[in-house]
């Protein structure tokens, strides 16, 4: 199968990124720290969420969405790789380095599992796990006690931020040592465009490229537990005296037309909608990466476009390039 390749001119994305980051840093340095205030009313919180959603992603700022592709994807970055041969089947801005939001939690899980920490150890949600980066809420109240395995499940399946942070806090040496381990693992995997600053993905300073994330998916797929927990459709856990139901943030795990072996979604305004998956399609084990998708459901629609193309539906030979290894 010929690969589809679309990209900016060499150096374009990095030049734009450098300019945008410098401008953002200058603007940020002029702002005074805001005093702590009481929680805003629900109407104000909704307005804040709407305002965040209206902000352009870094991919939009860098001009990555202007890159054309034959499938008319809404994602500014896309990569499909054969898991077994490393053959690239589809490529769009694969080297662009962008915020990755909760895709971060895939590395969080990898570090926790490879550290062989006991999954039955009970961890407690504390004030240290509250999101001060974006002000997001959580159904895991302060004082909630769950096992490490349950925290891992919620972080992978439902992208629970407090659970992910608690996993990092309970690593030997604490959160700083955990982030160091995340970056060390990235370097070991050859993820040269990747940098982590915290374990949830709420910070836009957690960044990577599609190429690097394909390497991460391939490594994470080697662990049965990550495959099982990330693709679990739903789970119920006890939060205090109540049973709380959590669902998978990726609706494709409930779609019978898909055979997904591993997945993780992500979203913050700076990153757009993101998803990485391992799936069996057209008789091949494939790794799919979609970053910076514009629109609430666009990453799922883009995945469906890629699936149909991979299955041979439609004529999308325009712009095809010779397949090449990752």
Q: Is 209 a catalytic residue?
A: no
Options 57, 138, 159, 209, the catalytic residue: 159
- What CA–CA distance (Å, rounded) separates 282 from 242? 43
Q: Is 105 a catalytic residue?
A: yes
SS (H, E, C) the chain: CCEEEECCCCCHHHHHHHHHHHHHHHHHHCCCCCCCCCCCCHHHHHHHHHHHHHCCCHHHHHCHHHCCCCCCCCEEEEEEEECCCCEEEEEECCCCCEECHHHHHHHHHHHHHHCCCCCCCEEECCHHHCCCCCCCCCCCCCCCEEEHHHHHHHHHHCCCHHHHHHHHHCCCCHHHHHHHHHHHHHHHCCCCCCECCCCCCCCCCCEECHHHHHHHHHHHCCCHHHHHHHHCCEEEEEECCEEEEEECCCHHHHCCCCCEEEEEEEEECCCEEEEEEEEEECCEEEEEEEEEECCCCHHHHHHHHHHHHHCCCCCCCCCEECCEEC
Options 57, 75, 76, 102, the catalytic residue: 102
Q: Is 138 a catalytic residue?
A: no
Give the dihedral sign, CA 214/219/224/228: negative
| Degrees, nearest 5: CA angle 244-246-249 | 160
Catalytic residue IDs: 102, 105, 159
């Amino acid at each position: 199968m010929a690969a589809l390749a679309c990209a900016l001119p060499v150096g374009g994305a990095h030049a734009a990124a450098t300019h945008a980051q410098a401008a953002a840093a200058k603007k940020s340095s002029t702002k005074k720290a805001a005093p702590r205030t009481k929680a805003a009313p629900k109407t104000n919180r909704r307005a804040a969420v709407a305002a965040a959603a209206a902000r352009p992603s870094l991919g939009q700022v860098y001009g990555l969405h202007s890159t054309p592709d034959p499938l008319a994807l809404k994602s500014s970055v896309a990569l499909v790789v054969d898991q077994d041969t490393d053959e690239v089947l589809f490529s769009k801005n694969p080297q662009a380095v962008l915020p990755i939001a909760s895709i971060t939690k895939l590395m969080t899980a990898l570090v926790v599992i490879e550290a062989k920490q006991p999954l039955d150890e009970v961890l407690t949600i504390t004030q240290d796990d509250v999101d001060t980066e974006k002000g997001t809420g959580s159904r895991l109240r302060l004082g909630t006690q769950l096992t490490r395995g349950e925290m891992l499940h919620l972080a992978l399946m439902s992208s629970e931020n407090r659970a992910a942070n608690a996993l990092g806090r309970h690593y030997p040496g604490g959160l700083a040592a955990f982030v160091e381990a995340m970056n060390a693992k990235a370097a070991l995997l050859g993820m040269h465009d990747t940098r982590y600053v915290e374990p949830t993905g709420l910070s836009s300073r957690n960044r990577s490229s599609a190429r690097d994330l394909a390497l991460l998916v391939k490594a994470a797929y080697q662990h049965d537990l990550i495959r099982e927990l990330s693709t679990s459709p739903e789970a119920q856990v006890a939060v205090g005296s109540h049973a709380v139901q959590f669902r998978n943030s990726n609706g494709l795990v409930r779609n019978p037309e898909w055979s997904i072996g591993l997945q993780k979604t992500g979203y913050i305004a700076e990153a757009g909608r993101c998803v990485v998956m391992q799936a069996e399609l057209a008789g091949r084990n494939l790794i799919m990466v979609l970053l910076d998708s514009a629109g609430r459901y666009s990453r799922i629609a883009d995945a469906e476009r890629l699936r149909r193309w991979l299955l041979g539906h439609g004529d999308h030979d325009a712009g095809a390039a010779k397949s090449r290894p990752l």
